[in-house]
Amino acid sequence: MSVNPSRKSVSVLVPLALPEPYDYEVPAGLIAEPGSYVIVPLGAQEILGVVWGEGTGTFDAKRLKPIREVLDVPPMPEASRRFIDWMSQYTLSPRGSVMRLAIRAPGALEPQRMRIAYRLVDTRPARMTPARMRVVETAADQFARTVRELAEEAGVSDGVVRGLVDAGALVPVELPGEAAFPEIDFASAGKSLSAEQAEAAEVLRARVAQKSFSALLLDGVTGSGKTEVYFEAVAEALRQGRQALILLPEIALTSQFLARFEARFGVKPAEWHSELSTRERTRVWRGVAEGRARVVVGARSALFLPFAELGLIVVDEEHEAAFKQDEGVTYHARDMAVVRASLGSFPIILSSATPSLETAVNVEQGRYERVALAQRHGAAEMPTIIAIDMRNDPPERGRWLAPKLVAEIGAALAAGEQAMLFLNRRGYAPLTLCRTCGHRIECPQCTAWLVEHRFRRELVCHHCGYTAPVPKACPSCGAEESLIACGPGVERIAEEVAELFPEARTSVLSSDNLRGPLSHEEAFRAIEAREVDIVIGTQIVAKGHHFPWLTVVGVVDADLGLENGDLRAAERTFQLLQQVAGRAGRAERPGRVYLQTYMPEHTVMRALVAGDRDAFLARESEARERVSLPPFGRLAGVVVSSTNAALAQKWARELARAAPRAENISVLGPAPAPLALLRGRTRLRFLVKATRNVNIQAYMQAWLGPLKVPGAVRVSVDIDPYSFL
Ligand code: ADP
Ligand code: ZN
């Protein structure tokens, strides 16, 4: 193959499920450097891509297509590109699919000159349809929007908007410059820190000042001021002219958190999460790329923002399972954040009151440094945790709260304090059963019971969202008035509370009765303002909130998380309950936490009651090490699924046959997944277990790479799985 030296070529990665970049010709006059965002022809389309490097020379130079356009955006930084390469190899996801995560701000890459926006004027067309009215109402705030944005916000087609443009009701304007990012005041001092906090902050600042990779666990009990302390590290990064990223589980990204940031730094940080508008996404993405946005507080996908000068990542609540992305490109954002820090040569701070076993072991083995905060800030004491043995102190028939817990709630209310009941189960009852024939109402598309939601008068599948009205008669035997609700969800607890404390003001917090972030904020504000006496909630209430008047916390079913028996069940239950317990007694008033359990002798309950986290972690660690489970061994999950059950089974068998033999690796399965049917797809699972020294990615590639699986069958691989459903 002869390469014409007068023609320059580069390799361009496109955001499709493709493993490798393609070569393109760089026409004279265009400058395409590594990282440049470009428009290239692909098949019949033109598509956005990123220049990944020099041309590979593996394509026929004479037939290379030219790059059409180089976009006016700062090139994707080298560290971001290496991060994508690394992640693709580690997660076994096509490079293009990983890269797609990094360009999820469509507007940001549109050439800015193309952005023509429209503003409403007084002219109205002769014919006003309801759809046109909606557009007019949307545009009435006088903000300029593109046709697409207007159509999206008003819920109409682009054509409706164009109709109004043609009629002169909307006039084109230059889109006003994006709102600027206000200066962050990192120079003025934060809260005056306690001796313990100041010492911790000093270590963190020193790590940032070193400008090299290091990983540090900020290990402090809930309420010890971890946030205040890591803010000092953020301030240090800013002082050095670098950017900082604070990663939070999406659920913890509240206005309370943003307000604390503002209290420390004078302005709100840039935010990045799934509920941002397209416009805000565009603004933040560009702001980050151009270095105008200095601090981003975001959910896991913020890792893929094109930071030009990132100098620090903080992962708050690092133990949270919510950092694991289970679909599409599967990755654990905490682990990937460590990689990102290493590739960018800057420090990472992992913060938690209940560190994950992975992190605890990394500390123990000296890979991560540990800085501890042992005391709650100010006068606050750690709450007392008490187990209520439900075998000895059972609730009345048909009730779920033990007399002792009821009495404690009553006492708190009498003292003008607040109580919280925690049950990690949405809806009214997790199962509906026919008393006559024993039939259980199942989801038609999933291996799951339908959950009764009494407020909405519906049965709902929590896996696929299928809903059906609650039937009058049993769908199986036809008996009337025979269906009974089994077990409690938060709605049922609310019903019991209303009977027990008719005077009390209650608030039920779960993801399905609070729609949108605003209603969350409103609910939390009402609790803070003491407009609520008893809070009943799912895990939404467990995280990060600070309610000074909350003194009694009751965990309705402390055993719930232990039921599913996966390898992290005990660890997660411990973390969650410890978090929930941390809501109690955060100010001057001491907190009491009651765990309703049928297993008070279980190691999780004993550790919680004794307040002995480290002993618990040590025991968990030994148990995992004995059987070579993570972090002492490696795991990969493989799910074979299809809407055609026979085909799924056939291919599961094919996979089993094709699995190469290798030392220190075993392939377990196939077995029907616990969720054997999900959204109508039959699912079979393999679990690959290997020792730590094994390159599990290479093994998986050798196994799955050569297989030609038909399109009707999906084989998804999950390295370091957290879900085994
Ligand atoms: P954590 O993140 O460890 O749970 P926080 O940082 O949320 O703890 O602190 C708990 C509460 O104590 C917050 O309201 C915080 O503002 C307050 N606090 C912590 N440290 C200080 C301090 N040095 N001065 C004043 N208030 C503080
Ligand atoms: Zn379902």
578 lines ligand 1 (CB under 6 A): no
Q: Is the pLDDT score of 58 beyond 90?
A: no
223 touches ligand 1 (CB under 6 Å): yes
Domain boundary among 621, 654, 684: 621
Domain that holds residue 674: 633-719
Cβ–ligand 1 distance for 49 under 6 Å, the answer: no
- Evaluate whether residue 444 is within a structural domain: no
Q: How far is the CA of 312 from the centre of ligand 1 (A)?
A: 21
Are 566 and 493 found together in one domain?
yes
Identify which of 376, 377, 545 to mutate to test ligand 1's pocket (most ligand atoms within 8 A of the CB). Answer: 377
- Look at residue 467 and tell me whether its pLDDT is greater than 80: yes
Quote the pLDDT of residue 354: 94
Question: Is 220's C-beta closer than 6 angstroms to any atom of ligand 1?
Answer: yes
**Cα(130) to centroid(ligand 2), Å:** 36
Q: Measure 688 CA to ligand 2 centroid, in angstroms.
A: 27
CA–centroid distance, 576 to ligand 2, in Å, is 26
Residue 541 · residue 568 · CB < 8 Å: no
pLDDT digits (tens, 9 = 90+) for 267-278: 999 999 988 888
In short, whether 193's Cβ falls inside 6 Å of ligand 1 is yes
Task: Provide the strand spans (E) within 295-346.
Answer: 295-298, 310-316, 324-325, 331-332
Rounded to the nearest 10 degrees, how much is the dihedral formed by the CA atoms of 83, 86, 91, 97? 60
Q: What are the structure tokens assigned to 383, written together?
A: 């709450």
Instruction: Give strand pairing partners of 347.
Output: 214
pLDDT given at position 1: 39
CB 90 within 8 A of CB 719: yes
Average pLDDT over residues 460-477: 92
Measured by CA distance, the residue closest to atom 11 of ligand 1 is: 223
Ligand 1 pocket residue status of 583, Cβ below 6 Å: no
Report the domain count for the chain.
Answer: 5
Supply 468's token pair: 């059906």
Residue 102 lies inside a defined structural domain of this protein: no
Span 413-438, mean pLDDT? 94
**Residue 713 included in any domain:** yes
Q: Is the CB of residue 95 below 6 angstroms from any atom belonging to ligand 1?
A: no
Q: Is 630 in the pocket of ligand 1 (CB under 6 A)?
A: no
Q: Which ligand is nearest to the CA of 246?
A: 1
Q: Which of 39-53, 67-81, 174-188 has the lowest mean pLDDT?
A: 174-188
- pLDDT for 223: 83
Among 651, 625, 647, smallest CA distance to 638 is for 651
Decide whether any atom of ligand 1 lies within 6 Å of the 80 Cβ: no
CA of 191 to the centre of ligand 1 (A): 9
Q: Is the CB of 9 under 6 A from ligand 1?
A: no
Verify that 613 and 637 share a domain, yes or no.
no
Residue 276 CA, ligand 2 centroid: distance in Å: 28
Does residue 546 line the site of ligand 1, with CB under 6 A? yes
Give pLDDT tens digits for 532-573: 999 999 988 887 677 889 999 999 999 999 987 789 999 999
Residue 227: CB within 6 Å of ligand 1? yes
Domain boundary among 77, 103, 123: 77
From CA 238, how far away is CA 275, in angstroms rounded?
27
- Residue-wise pLDDT for 277-316, tens only, equals 888 898 899 999 999 999 999 999 999 999 989 999 999 9
> Kindly report the CA angle at 668 between 620 and 716, in degrees rounded to 5?
95
* Residues pairing with 370 in the sheet: 217
| 362 and 415 fall within a common domain | no
**What's the 649 CA to ligand 2 centre distance in angstroms?**
21
Pairing of strands 592-597, 550-555: parallel
Q: Please give the mean pLDDT across all residues of the chain.
A: 91
Distance 461 CA to ligand 2 centre (A): 5
* 53/120 same-domain check: no
Angle at 323 between CA 347 and CA 343, to 5 degrees: 30
Closest atom of ligand 1 to 260 CA is 16
> 452 CA to middle of ligand 2, Å?
13
Q: Is the pLDDT of residue 625 over 90?
A: yes
Distance 464 CA to ligand 2 centre (A): 4
Which atom in ligand 1 lies closest to the alpha carbon of residue 229?
6
More confident site: 376 or 263: 263
pLDDT for 87-146, tens place per residue?
Answer: 999 999 999 999 999 998 767 776 554 468 898 998 888 888 999 999 999 999 888 888
Which is the closest atom of ligand 1 to the Cα of 228? 6
Strand partners, 66: 25
| Ligand nearest to the CA of residue 547, numbered in listed order | 1
Q: What CATH number should be reported for the domain holding residue 669?
A: 3.30.70.600
pLDDT (0 to 100) of residue 178 = 65
Q: Are 332 and 199 part of one and the same domain?
A: yes
Q: Is the CB of 191 under 6 A from ligand 1?
A: yes
Residues 156 and 265 reside in one and the same domain: no
Which residue lies with its CA nearest to atom 25 of ligand 1?
Answer: 191
* Contact 197 CB / ligand 1 (< 6 Å): yes
Residue 439, domain member (yes or no): no
Assign residue 389 the CATH number of its domain. Answer: 3.40.50.300
Quick check: helix, strand or coil at residue 593? strand
Same domain, 401 and 525: yes
Where does residue 139 rank: exposed (0-12), middle (13-18), buried (19+ CB within 10 A)?
A: buried
* Global confidence as pTM: 0.86
pLDDT at 3 over 60: no
* Beta pairing partners, 117: 173
Q: Is the pLDDT of residue 6 over 60?
A: no
- Name the least confident of 355-369, 465-479, 584-598, 636-650: 584-598
* pLDDT for 4: 47
> Which listed ligand is nearest to 317 at the C-alpha?
1
CATH of the domain at 31: 3.40.1440.60
Count, residues in the chain = 725
Distance 228 CA to ligand 1 centre (A): 6
Among the bound ligands, name the one nearest to the CA of residue 231. 1
Pair 332, 722: CB distance under 8 Å: yes
Mean pLDDT of all residues in 434-459: 92
Q: Is 375 in the pocket of ligand 1 (CB under 6 A)?
A: no
Specify the 3-state DSSP secondary structure of 321: helix
**Which contacts of 473-480 are long-range, i.e. CB under 8 A and separated by 24 or more positions?**
474/434, 474/436, 474/437, 474/439, 475/439, 475/441, 476/434, 476/437, 476/439, 477/434, 477/436, 477/437, 477/439, 479/434, 479/435, 479/436, 479/437
| 579 close to ligand 1 (CB < 6 Angstrom) | no
- Mean pLDDT, residues 419-442 taken together: 94
Q: Is the CB of 256 under 6 A from ligand 1?
A: no
Neighbours of 130 (CB within 10 A): 8
Cβ count near 514 (within 10 Å): 19
The per-residue pLDDT for 402 is: 97
21 dihedral zone (left: phi>0; alpha: psi -120 to 50; beta):
beta
How many other C-beta atoms are found inside a 10 Å radius of the C-beta of residue 18? 15
Please write the tens of the pLDDT for every residue from 473-504. 999 999 999 999 999 999 999 999 999 999 99
pLDDT of residue 104: 81
Give the pLDDT score at 113. Answer: 46
Residues 149 and 215 in one domain: no
Q: Is residue 188 very low, low, confident or very high in pLDDT (cuts 50, 70, 90)?
A: confident
Measured at the CA of 689, the angle between CA 687 and CA 694, to 5 degrees, comes to 135
pLDDT digits (tens, 9 = 90+) for 681-720: 999 999 999 999 999 999 999 999 999 999 999 999 999 9
Side chain identity at residue 440, one-letter code = R
The answer to the question of residue 496 being in a domain is yes
In a domain, 147, yes or no: yes
412 touches 552 (CB < 8 A) = yes
Do 689 and 591 fall into the same domain?
no
Residue 691 belongs to a domain: yes
pLDDT at 345 exceeding the cut of 80? yes
Ligand 1 pocket mutation pick from 204, 227, 528 by most atoms within 8 angstroms of CB: 227
Same domain, 421 and 565: yes
pLDDT at residue number 589: 83
Q: Is the CB of 228 under 6 A from ligand 1?
A: yes
Tokens in use for 592?
């009491």
Nearest bound ligand to CA 314? 1
| Domain match, 701 and 555 both | no
For residue 41, what are the CA distances in angstroms to 8, 67, 111, 126, 273? Answer: 17, 7, 17, 43, 31
The whole-angstrom separation of Cα 201 and Cα 372 is 11
Q: Tell me how crowded residue 631 is: count the other CB atoms within 10 A of its CB.
A: 18
Rounded CA separation 356/630 (Å): 11
Tell which wins on pLDDT, 522 or 500.
500
Q: Residue 712 falls within a domain, yes or no?
A: yes
Give the separation between CA 136 and CA 119, rounded to whole angstroms: 10
Residue of 193, 218, 221, 228 with the most ligand 1 atoms within 8 Å of its CB, for mutation: 228
Span from the CA of 468 to the centroid of ligand 2 (angstroms) = 11
Is residue 222 lining ligand 1, measured as CB closer than 6 Å? yes
Q: What is the CATH number of the domain that holds 142?
A: 1.10.10
* 194 C-beta closer than 6 A to ligand 1: yes
**Based on the domain organization, do 24 and 136 belong to the same domain?**
no
**381 C-alpha to ligand 1 centroid (Å):** 13
